[in-house]
Amino acid sequence: MFVLVDSGILLRFLEPSDPQHAAIRGAVRTLRSRGDTLITAAQNMAEFWNVCTRPATARGGLGLSIPVADRRLRVVERLFRVLPDTTSAYQTWRVLIVAHAVRGVQVHDARLVALMQVHGITHILTLNGGDFARYPGIVAIDPTSLQSPSQTMP
């Protein structure tokens, strides 16, 4: 099965100081071990770059230099296939935003759903499952739901 990996997952996957890092690494390992193919979208890569290069003093920014952000982006590109944007995805997105009365920042999630629909992907690994609940046929996977008993704390 193909699983789209959201930008929040990508960021924490490569940030050892993040409290969710271990759970996310474990989730990626679990999905791969069961034979799933992990992919991402160009939009997620742009969001990844945004957070990596945003000043650390700004909300959520990591304040990384361009060379360090570039190295991290290369790692993500090596580990996760990037789906191309398509004209069909735009047309699907256009229908979704009207049909689901999408507003504001939620347009980004609708773009991911459109891309998933065009490519026949039903599952997304995300920390924000509620953002995808309005879309029938989309299954949000929380990384903590994939922890094995040895990964959980007593």
Q: What would the pLDDT profile of 9-26 be if each residue is shown by its tens digit?
A: 999 999 999 999 999 999
pTM score = 0.91
Q: Output the pLDDT for position 148.
A: 55
Residue-level length of the chain: 154
Strand 139-141 to strand 81-83: parallel, antiparallel, or no bridges (unpaired)? unpaired
Mean pLDDT score of the chain:
93
DSSP state of 133: T
pLDDT of residue 41: 96
Look up residue 28 and give its amino acid.
V
* Pairwise pLDDT comparison (82 vs 147), residue with the higher score: 82
pLDDT for 154 equals 38
Measured CA to CA, the distance from residue 133 to residue 90 in angstroms comes to 20
CATH superfamily of 2-144: 5'-nuclease (3.40.50.1010)
**Helix runs in 1-139, H state only:** 7-13, 21-33, 42-53, 66-79, 87-99, 107-119
The pLDDT of residue 149 is 46
Banded pLDDT at 121 (limits 50, 70, 90): very high
**Tell me: the pLDDT tens digits for 70-114?**
999 999 999 999 998 899 999 999 999 999 999 999 999 999 999
Q: Report how far apart the first and last C-alpha atoms of the chain are (Å, whole number).
A: 32
Which structure tokens are listed for 95? 């229908």
